[in-house]
Structures are given as structure tokens and as C-alpha cells.
Amino acid sequence: MSEPNAAARKRVFLYIPTTFLVLFFVLPLVALVVLSFWQTANYKIVRDWTTLNYVTLATESAYIIFFLRSLLMAILVSVFLVVVAWPIAFFIVRFGGRYKLIFSLLLAVPFLSGEVLRLIALQGMLGPTGLINGALMRLGAAPLRFIMYSNSATFIAFVYLYLPMTVTTIYLSLLNFDLRLASAASACGAGRLRVFSEVIWPLNLSGTMIGFLLSFIPTLSASLAPRFLGGPNGTLYGMSMAQQFGESGTWALGAAMGVVLVLFSIAALVILSLGVNLRRTGFTGMER
């Protein structure tokens, strides 16, 4: 009796997200791809099919440098975040007790203000007369030049912006992890380091990967942080892309840059997920 009903209901549940994704993700992406194969001249779109935009991106040294800088930045930021977020998440889960939830909610507090606001606040902290350098100079010390309008400043900003994400994903992963497995490993003769490397780390690898990607992908395409903090040599790929759509009005080239970013984000996702055997992360949802 309820068989066709259940099937229909199932289909509805699939249609809703599918429609949403097609409307707001696939269609804009297609538009972006199409635009990337056109041209812009004098702030007008010229509908001639060409691969010129991609040739520009692949040959002009400025774009290559922006891209490599972005890629390096994204890798460094994400690796650093994983290294820092792990102990934070671990200690919240292990010793947070009944305050666990409060700790994890505190991580979300920065999200109560917008990204621009947070970056301006950081500018105030790191700038030439900012809190840190101001205080140093008051004390008669030399100011720290590397944190003023530089790639280091951008790096600090990315860490600050995405730390809550990375900590939260690793925290959620650890929360679902049975810590008694660590006791079991310990009783099996494993020292602390082996308990971590053989049991805790591999069983939380998928959560860690998601945490990594949640900082890697936005860092790769970020435009605001380098604009506020990067200084003259801090232009990143996403920032340059934003300029194509804004000041310079070269939308087609910007679209091509967007396509490049999407492709590299997908590549990162594929590389990481191929590198991880889900079985080896204790994932038990297979074959069921």
C-alpha cells in the first residue's frame, strides 16, 4: 500500500536538493565557463569563442606568480591550521567535560561579526601603528616589519579566519571517536605516540581532511584578506580575479580565473579523497 507513496516521497526528497543545486550551483558554473571562453573589450562582452583568456593566464608571469603564491599560501595555511587545531580540538573533547559545548560555541563567536570587520580589526592589530607594533615602539623596540602589509600578515589573517572551521570539524570528528579505543591500544602495548599515530590519527583522518579542505579552498580563492593586509607584494589569485570583475572590467578573464580555481579545488578534493581509503579511517558505512 505505502510502497509507491514511499518511493514518491523519496523522489521528492531527492528532487528538492537537486533542483537547488542545478539552479544555484550548476547553472552559474556553466555561465562562468561560457563567459571564460568569450572576450571583454571596453567594458563590453564580445561573444567570440576564444581560448585567449586561458593562454593569458598560462603565460603571463604576473598571473602565474599570483597563482603559485595562492597555492603555496593555501597549503601552508591549511597545514598550519591542522597542526594547531588538532591539540585544541583534542583537549576540548578530552578535558572539556560538561563545558565542551560552551567551548565549541565560543569558537563560533568570531562569526558574529562580518569578515570585513574582522579583517579591519586585524589591520588595527598588525599595522605600522597597530596594537602590536605600537606597543613595541612605546617600549623602545623596533617594530616587526614582517607583519605589516605583507604575505605574513595575510597568513595570520587566514589562520584567524579559518581556525574555527578547522577546529570545529576536527572537534566533531573526535567527538564521534570512541576514546576507549585509545585505552585498548594502550593496553595492547602502545606508547602515547603509537596510540596517536596508529589509532587516533587514522580514525579521525576523514574529519581532518574536511577541516583541511574547508580552509584550503577558501584560502585559494580569497580576495579580501590579501586586499586588506597583503601590501604591495601580497596579491593573491582570488584578489586579482576580483579586480578583473571590478576595476579593470575584464570579466571574461576573471571568469577564466574562476574556472581555474574551481578546477584546482576539485583537484584538491579528488587527490585527498583518492589518497584516503575510507575503510582505513574506520568508515563503516560501506556494504550496508
Question: What is the closest distance, in whole angstroms, from the C-beta atom of residue 98 to other proteins in the complex?
Answer: 15
Question: What is the closest distance, in whole angstroms, from the C-beta atom of residue 190 to other proteins in the complex?
Answer: 5
Footprint of other proteins on residues 192-221 (CB under 8 A)? 194, 198-199, 202-203
Computed on alpha carbons and rounded to an integer, the radius of gyration of the chain in Å comes to 23
Give the one residue of 97, 191, 232, 275 binding other proteins; rule: CB under 8 A. Answer: 191
Site for other proteins contains 284 (CB under 8 A): yes
3-state secondary structure of 1: coil
Report whether 155 contacts 73 (CB < 8 A).
yes
Taking CB under 8 A as the binding criterion, the range among 33-41, 57-65, 229-237, 277-285 that sits at the site for other proteins is 277-285
Site for other proteins contains 280 (CB under 8 A): yes
Site for other proteins contains 189 (CB under 8 A): yes
Site for other proteins contains 190 (CB under 8 A): yes
Spatial distance between the Cα atoms of 214 and 158, rounded to a whole number of angstroms = 12
Q: Please report, for residues 15, 23, 38, 91, the alpha-carbon distance to residue 28 in angstroms, rounded to integers and kept in the order given.
A: 19, 8, 15, 42
Site for other proteins contains 178 (CB under 8 A): yes
**What are all long-range contacts of 26-33, with beta carbons under 8 Å and residues at least 24 apart?**
29/262, 32/255, 32/258, 32/259, 32/262, 33/255, 33/259
Question: What is the closest distance, in whole angstroms, from the C-beta atom of residue 192 to other proteins in the complex?
Answer: 8
Positions in the binding site for other proteins (CB under 8 A): 178, 180-181, 183-191, 194, 198-199, 202-203, 279-282, 284, 287
